[in-house]
Chains A and B, each alone.
Chain A
Amino acid sequence: MPKDQIVVGLEIGTSKVCAISAELKRDGTIQILGVGEAPSRGVRKGEIVDIETCGKCIREALADAEEKSDVMIKNVYLGITGAHIVSYNNRCSFTLPEDREKIDSGDFARVQEAARTSPIPSQNMFVHTILQHYYVDGQDGVLNPVGMHGRKLEADFHIVHGVANRIRNSIQCMIDLDIEIEDIVFTPYAAAQAVLDANQKTAGAIMVDIGGGTTGYIVYAGGAVKQSGVLGIGGDHITNDLSLGLRIPMGKAERLKIDEGSCAVGGTIPGEAVVMKDEHGFAGREIEREMLNTIIHMRVRETFELLKRELDKGRYAEYAGAGMVLTGGSSALRGIQEVAEEIFQMPVQVCRAQNVTGVTSAFENPQYSTAIGLVKYAQATLEDDSGGWFDWFKKWFR
């Protein structure tokens, strides 16, 4: 990179909109300048359902970030999610012309282009084509094929795609605010950049980002993305379950979940009660702790069981030598690690963003992993400068 550069990662989450501005230093470090935040409205399960309301929240979050970091925000890296986003692995190839036998750097772009012709449903659009491995004339394990002799260059790609119109909703929000989008990034992919280091990716790791409305996951094996996806269940569902089960308003249910909730069952004294404070601070209703925890436990367990089923389809999870990493706002739930360990039968740790400097409160909390991940993603793409396709997409969209 020629000089220090300021980038902004924007995540439109179900519970909050979060904008993080950061400085990419020439020495490769990242300095967080400011974190702007606003409670989110008009978003359900990671997808925008009310563009106008959501636009206001985004504006608020961006203004907050501008104020805190003292920068004008013009462009952002936008995180997108939603259960409509799916992925699969595909192999693409490029055969060299007759008169040439050596692979050059231009051939990378040609294979990448071939990946963009992978079959996806007509209403869907590509979000990512993430490179996994190269093969030269069928030879496996080629790290850098430039300069190698061969007739055919092949590459495995992890292809992430989603329903175009739903992705356009997020983009439309930004257009309305007159903010330019540098790139759109699938949020679990972004979060993985923040919480997993190169060693974990090589050893094989599963990252699970449990947010407000969705639970995203991504599986790395041998340094490459092997599987990713989103479940439309998140922390909101726990709150909703509590609200319906204990007959309390959503706001109180949310507070109760954060202050007292745990997904460990059996550890409570029989009959132990949690006293909910009313608006004036006086003791209000009593709720049995065992019941509170059971409701949370059942939802968390079910979510993990669904996730395990998804992971079992891919069979890459067996090779996750570095185990599982949980992140996202709901990973702060007490006892979640134990439940995950029981279900996935592997070591599980709750993780936050790593290898960044700056405002500590920003990256000490797992709920900012995705937004920081967006900044990390920006750093990576600016370094190899290969993310040209999105410009093409923007032209097509306008």
Chain B
Amino acid sequence: MIPLKRSTTPAAPVIKVLGLGGAGGSALDRLMLDGVEGVALVAANTDVQALNGCVAPHKIQLGRTVTRGLGAGGDPEIGYQAAEEAADEIKSVVEGADMIFLCTGLGGGTGSGAAPLIAHMARAAGAVVVAFVTMPFGFEGKRRRTQAAESLAQIEAQANLVVCFENDRLGETAPHNAGVQDAFVAADQILSSSIQAIASLVRRGGIIPTGLDELAAALRRSHPRCLFGHGESDGVNRAHEALARALKSPLMGKGKMLADCHSVMIHIAGGPDVTVQEITSLMDEFNKHIGDDTRIDFGLATDAKLGRRLCVTILSSTGAPETVAESVGVRRTPPREVPASTQPPKRTTAAPAPVAEEAAELLPDDVDEEELLPAAKPEPAPVAAVKTAPPAQTYRKPAAEKAAAAKKEEKAEQMTLEPANRGRFEKSEPTIVDGQDLDVPTFLRKNLKVK
């Protein structure tokens, strides 16, 4: 008997998060506290005391002889030398990783000095490098600012992608009476939640996968000032709430900043029960916050682990678009929106893997799997297993057949939705704008559930 090969997917990408210096260490602590999954955490610091206090399982001491266990004293030169000294250790960590998330706070000695070198080593080892950096607060002084800017330029030359947060932006949004401690904690939180969100969206792959190229498009600006928002909810109106929370993120300016963006990436992840309705209404709501010409990179994934939760991640940056197209070494077809009419039909058979089945139904017919991000190999096992299983049906249906099917479903949907929703206006002439019957209550059309 020929054994049936259950899974044809490659292994999940190996992602390592390298926290560098004091800020990087605190971000790792935060990640540990939040319970991040599927990534290895490595802390690297010149300061032994700080390193010992860090909860990361793997630690590298930089500059055993250069600093002798003390800090880099705010001098990037010392930071650089310290990293050079620990080059072998760093290489052993970065080797074998598909992605390295390098997170650090710029402006000090260790972060500013060592980060460019480590990024270089990681690239040389063949990993995709995503750097998460914070720029110092204004009150930390001009010198740190200059050091940070110089270092940022060097990191940008090395890393595939730089996600840069301005601490001052966090300060602006913090309440006036918030302590300095709180401000730094807020910076750590943002750093860690963005790492988590990006790690999961790259790892999860999903029905409409997003990859590094979309991230790069969303963030490719000459003066990167990152807009990042992440929200989760499991309430009855989770689509609304998750988006509202994502937009409320301090780096979003209540969603107002989005209006100036040229390109935005939004990723939605949820349990198997996420409906097309929810996604449609969420995206409708989201579209109100961005300009008409803004390019949206849309990602969608289902993950049984999320249960009833729905997560929305928004990433973008303001500033002038950079003309030089950065090469990430990734080519993929542009993402496609799920057509509104592909509402999953009612399941009649008991399915062993509901996630996977829904994924297969929602899967746009012509996404080429070969074209998926090679470096990240983002395939959670259950989704992909069925994605490849029925190739004959899902691959490239004739266009006419597809259109007819879509039409049929659309019709069926309208027929079930039509009655009983118009109340008083049942018999009156409908007011229809943009294909929406305005007599139907707004909250029903926007998919708000009334308790």
Contact = CB atoms under 8 A, between A and B. Distances in A.
B290 to A, nearest CB: 15
A75 interface: no
A72 interface: no
Interface in B431-451: 431, 433, 438-439, 441-444, 446, 448, 450-451
B446 A244 contact: no
Say which size band chain B's interface belongs to: 10 to 19
Nearest to A83: B431
Interface in B56-76: none
Contacts of B425: 44-45, 236-237, 240
Given A245-B450, A298-B448, A240 B424 contact: yes
A59 interface: no
A250 interface: yes
A294 B451 CA distance: 12
Given A237-B439, A302-B442, A243 B431 contact: no
B240 to A, nearest CB: 9
User: Does more than half of chain B's interface fall in helix, strand or loop, or is it mixed?
Assistant: loop
Contacts of B448: 294-295, 298
Contacts of A244: 421, 423, 441, 444
Q: Find the residue from B423, B433, B438, B444 having the highest chain A CB count within 10 A.
A: B423
Q: Find the residue from B424, B425, B444 having the highest chain A CB count within 10 A.
A: B424
A164 interface: no
B178 to A, nearest CB: 21
A113 interface: no
A292 to B, nearest CB: 10
A288 interface: yes
Interface in B384-435: 421-425, 428-429, 431, 433
Interface string B35-75: 00000000000000000000000000000000000000000
Given A45-B428, A240-B423, A244-B421, A295 B441 contact: yes
Interface in B232-287: none
Contacts of B421: 244
A243 B421 CA distance: 11
Contact of B443 (A45, A239, A298): A298
A96 to B, nearest CB: 46
A301 B431 CA distance: 17
A298 B431 contact: no
B424 A250 contact: yes
Interface string A28-52: 0000000000000000110001000
Contact of B441 (A245, A250, A301): A245
A299 B439 CA distance: 10
Nearest to B432: A232
Contacts of A44: 425, 428-429
A244 B448 CA distance: 13
Contacts of B439: 237, 240
Contacts of B428: 44-45, 49
A83 B425 CA distance: 15
A291 interface: yes
B424 A236 contact: yes
Contacts of A295: 441-443, 448, 450
Contacts of A233: 431, 438
B362 to A, nearest CB: 27
Contacts of A232: 431, 438
Contacts of B422: 240
B389 to A, nearest CB: 42
Nearest to B438: A233
A258 interface: no
B450 A299 contact: no
Contact of A245 (B433, B438, B443): B443
Given A298-B442, A299-B441, A302-B442, A243 B451 contact: no
Contacts of B431: 45, 83, 231-233
Contacts of A302: 438, 442
10 contacts: A44-B429, A231-B431, A239-B424, A240-B441, A241-B443, A243-B423, A244-B423, A294-B448, A295-B441, A295-B442
Ranked 8 nearest A-B pairs via Cβ: A241-B441, A232-B431, A298-B442, A44-B428, A240-B423, A245-B450, A299-B442, A240-B424
Interface of B: 421-425, 428-429, 431, 433, 438-439, 441-444, 446, 448, 450-451
